[in-house]
């Protein structure tokens, strides 16, 4: 039986956190760093389990995005992964469905994520829109452009007025800022 649940990091056991980290390490083939893990915790997790085993995960953490003179309360998607060998069976969609429910229930003004190339069809197929304008980060030294991320950022418009050709600036954090 497949079961999807949504739970805050604070409600997860040590074993559950280890299972999530192990799934992310496997799905990203060793490219998932400790900073990536740091970005994945502290918010809501969507967990898909099959026969008691974790088969898919995604997280939603709060960040601030500067856009159009406003600091938008943003639900940022992190750590979306499905156990290798179980792809294209709808598990990634189940994760996104659960996270989008949290986004749409009014907790945030905007949904945002940085997409791996192979995951773009999953997100666009669900109504996420590619950000066309320049991206940047509010670094300790001021706003700095992040040109490598241009074209890889996607948003789920909720309540905020957006100009997809305008600038989108994320808050600062260690590791990959987007
Ligand atoms: C990306 C990933 C999460 C997708 O999970 P998944 O369980 O295969 O996704 P789904 O089965 O729900 O796919 C839903 C739809 O998304 C699209 N899609 C998903 N993966 C796709 C791919 N590789 N190529 C083309 N379309 C794809 C398809 O439209 C698919 O529907 P369909 O199978 O009926 O055609 C999974 O491949 C994965 O864990 N990859 C490694 C980690 C990663 O890249 N995570 C994303 C970080 S941004």
Q: What is the pLDDT of residue 106?
A: 87
Q: Is 79 among the domain residues?
A: yes
Q: What is the pLDDT of residue 175?
A: 98
Question: Taking the CB of residue 104, how many other CB atoms lie within 10 A of it?
Answer: 14
- Determine the Cα–Cα distance for residues 158 and 160; give it in Å rounded to an integer: 6
Q: Is 88 among the domain residues?
A: yes
Q: What is the mean pLDDT of the chain?
A: 97
- Determine the Cα–Cα distance for residues 92 and 104; give it in Å rounded to an integer: 18
Q: Is 167 among the domain residues?
A: yes
Our answer on whether the CB atom of 27 is closer than 6 Å to any ligand 1 atom is yes
Nearest CA among 108, 17, 120, 34 for reference residue 64: 108
- Determine the Cα–Cα distance for residues 109 and 141; give it in Å rounded to an integer: 27
- Determine the Cα–Cα distance for residues 104 and 158; give it in Å rounded to an integer: 7
pLDDT, tens digit (0-9, with 9 covering 90-100), for 7-46? 999 999 999 999 999 999 999 999 999 999 999 999 999 9
Q: Is 176 among the domain residues?
A: no
Q: What is the pLDDT of residue 177?
A: 98
Our answer on whether the CB atom of 43 is closer than 6 Å to any ligand 1 atom is no
| Pocket test residue of 21, 87, 94, 115 for ligand 1, highest count of atoms within 8 A of CB | 87
Task: Answer yes or no: are the C-beta atoms of 107 and 75 closer than 8 Å.
Answer: yes
pLDDT, tens digit (0-9, with 9 covering 90-100), for 49-89? 999 999 999 999 999 999 999 999 999 999 999 999 999 99
The atom of ligand 1 lying closest to the CA of 88 is 11
Task: Answer yes or no: are the C-beta atoms of 149 and 178 closer than 8 Å.
Answer: yes
Domain span at residue 51?
2-171
CA angle 94, 110, 99 (to 5 degrees): 15
Q: Is 8 among the domain residues?
A: yes
Q: Is 178 among the domain residues?
A: no
Q: Tokens 């986004």 — which residue? A: 103
Query: Which tokens go with 50?
Result: 């099959």
pLDDT, tens digit (0-9, with 9 covering 90-100), for 104-156? 998 899 999 999 999 999 999 999 999 999 999 999 999 999 999 999 999 99
Task: State the CATH number of the domain containing residue 75.
Answer: 3.40.630.30
Q: Is 154 among the domain residues?
A: yes
CB neighbour class for 85 (10 Å; exposed up to 12, middle 13-18, buried from 19) = exposed
- Determine the Cα–Cα distance for residues 164 and 68; give it in Å rounded to an integer: 11
Q: What is the pLDDT of residue 40?
A: 98
Task: Answer yes or no: are the C-beta atoms of 59 and 17 closer than 8 Å.
Answer: no
The atom of ligand 1 lying closest to the CA of 125 is 29
How many domains is the chain built from? 1
Chain centre to alpha carbon of residue 51: 25
Nearest CA among 108, 109, 110, 175 for reference residue 146: 175
Q: Is 177 among the domain residues?
A: no
Kindly give the distance from the C-alpha atom of residue 27 to the centroid of ligand 1, in angstroms, as a whole number: 12
Task: Answer yes or no: are the C-beta atoms of 10 and 49 closer than 8 Å.
Answer: no
């Amino acid at each position: 039986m497949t079961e999807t649940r949504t739970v805050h990091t604070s409600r997860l056991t040590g074993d559950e956190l280890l299972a999530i980290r192990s799934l992310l390490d496997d799905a990203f083939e060793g490219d998932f760093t400790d900073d990536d893990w740091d970005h994945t915790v502290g918010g809501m997790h969507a967990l898909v389990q099959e026969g008691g085993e974790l088969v898919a995960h995604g997280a939603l953490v709060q960040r601030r995005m500067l856009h159009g003179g406003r600091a938008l309360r943003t639900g940022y998607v992190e750590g979306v992964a499905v156990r290798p060998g179980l792809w294209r069976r709808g598990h990634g969609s189940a994760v996104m469905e659960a996270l989008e429910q949290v986004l749409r229930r009014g907790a945030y003004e905007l949904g945002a994520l940085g997409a791996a190339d192979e995951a773009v069809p999953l997100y666009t197929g669900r109504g996420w829109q590619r950000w066309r304008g320049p991206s940047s980060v509010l670094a300790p030294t001021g706003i700095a452009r992040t040109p490598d991320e241009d074209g890889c950022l996607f948003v789920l418009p909720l309540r905020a007025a957006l100009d997809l050709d305008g600038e989108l600036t994320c808050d600062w954090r260690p590791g990959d800022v987007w």
